[in-house]
Amino acid sequence: MFDIERYHQAADLQDAAAALCADPQAILIAGGTDVLIEIREGKRAGASLVSIQGLAELKGILMEADGTLLIRPLTTFSEITADPLIRQNLPVLAHAADQVGGPQIRHVGTIGGNLCNGVTSADTASTLFALNARLEVTGPAPGWERQEDMSDLLLVKRQVPIDEFYLGPGKVALQTGELLTGIRIASEDYKGYHGHYIKYSIRSAMDIATLGCAVNCRFDEGCRHVEDLRLAFGVAGPVPMRCPQTEEALRGMAVGPVLFREIGRRAAEEVKPRDSWRASKAFRLQLVRELSRRALQQALDDAKGEGGQAHA
Ligand SMILES: Cc1cc2nc3c(=O)[nH]c(=O)nc-3n(C[C@H](O)[C@H](O)[C@H](O)COP(=O)(O)OP(=O)(O)OC[C@H]3O[C@@H](n4cnc5c(N)ncnc54)[C@H](O)[C@@H]3O)c2cc1C
């Protein structure tokens, strides 16, 4: 049984924001794969829900005039993995989305929900960190007041870099009435880059990550040197995180054994994993060392496959 007090199906984005402002305790629901489980477990029992499921304006993937890729939040994991624009330009994200749960969850769960639940293990989050994603948040204009009829509510948009979106475990930078309405990846953050995501989990399917590692790397022509490197992790700290000091140290480094040793050694000094019933801190640090090396190797192999010469 689901203990739900009230359910409102929003007609559009305006209606969703107005309903959330009218009832600040109401919970926004997209695919419901997190929210409904929490209600069923009793954590959010008696909640009122505002549903955005089916709103066409919040669904889909497109390329903007300057080459920026825009992913709307209601796009499901299956749609991301199958999308031609994503497969061609962001294969690392297609792969990360394909690691989530099982087919049923991937058909229903959305990328917006995966970010807005604020969970460090979210499979698409670390990849979006490594892609410097910018989030579009839409909500009431500052100074709005709660009234009986909120239909005239004025909405405004703001842009939030993904690393400023996560405030703590389960907590993201959304105020009352605000929704995530877009995820943008600029062309300079994916063109010429090769990325790879590795999820380590206890079971190979239907299990959340014990550790997730995303690499997004640009090599010079011939793949002799690292021109730019982004390294991000899930479950290596309370929220998804980048390793800026490791990235800085490896920028410009020659491709070879030192690079592959240093990425893991430095990253392990930067992350902050903890002990949990899934894995010890020591095991997670070992995963950080090993998965960062393997993800970089795969990114290099992919780069070479596109015409670079072998110089590993
Ligand atoms: C069996 C099972 C296995 C799973 N396996 C994995 C896994 O392997 N990897 C993984 O990462 N996740 C996994 N999940 C978690 C879940 O599927 C994802 O987090 C999913 O992306 C949530 O999306 P949703 O649309 O279902 O979100 P919902 O449950 O609808 O919402 C989740 C949260 O996000 C908020 N929200 C949703 N959309 C918006 C928006 N546009 N603006 C503002 N707030 C919003 C909601 O208010 C809520 O707080 C699993 C879940 C289940 C049940």
Mutate to test the pocket of ligand 1, among 27, 28, 200 (most ligand atoms within 8 A of CB): 28
Correct CATH for 192-305 of 3.30.390.50, 3.40.50.720, 3.30.70.1350, 3.90.1580.10: 3.30.390.50
Query: Is the CATH code 3.30.43 the one for domain 1-50?
Result: yes
Q: Which two tokens stand for residue 191?
A: 């063109």
Q: What is the pLDDT of residue 44?
A: 87
Annotated domain spans of the chain: 1-50, 192-305
pLDDT band at 198 (very low <50, low <70, confident <90, very high): very high
Which residues does ligand 1 sit against, CB inside 6 Å? 27-35, 37, 73, 100-101, 105, 109-110, 112-114, 116-117, 121-123, 174, 179-180, 206, 208
Report phi then psi at 51, rounded to 5. -95, 135
Residue 310: pLDDT band (50, 70, 90) is very low
How confident is the model over 3-61, as pLDDT tens digits? Answer: 899 999 999 999 999 999 999 999 999 999 999 999 998 888 889 999 999 999 999 99
Indicate the pTM of the whole model.
0.95
pLDDT for 151 beyond 90: no
Cα-atom radius of gyration of the chain, to the nearest Å?
20
How does DSSP assign 181-192, residue by residue? EEEEE-GGGTTT
User: Across the chain, what does the average pLDDT equal?
Assistant: 95
CA 179 to ligand 1: nearest atom: 42
- Nearest CA to 150 out of 52, 247, 16, 57 is that of 16
Q: What are phi and psi of 42, to 5 degrees?
A: 95, -10
Helices (H) and strands (E) in the chain, counts: 12, 14
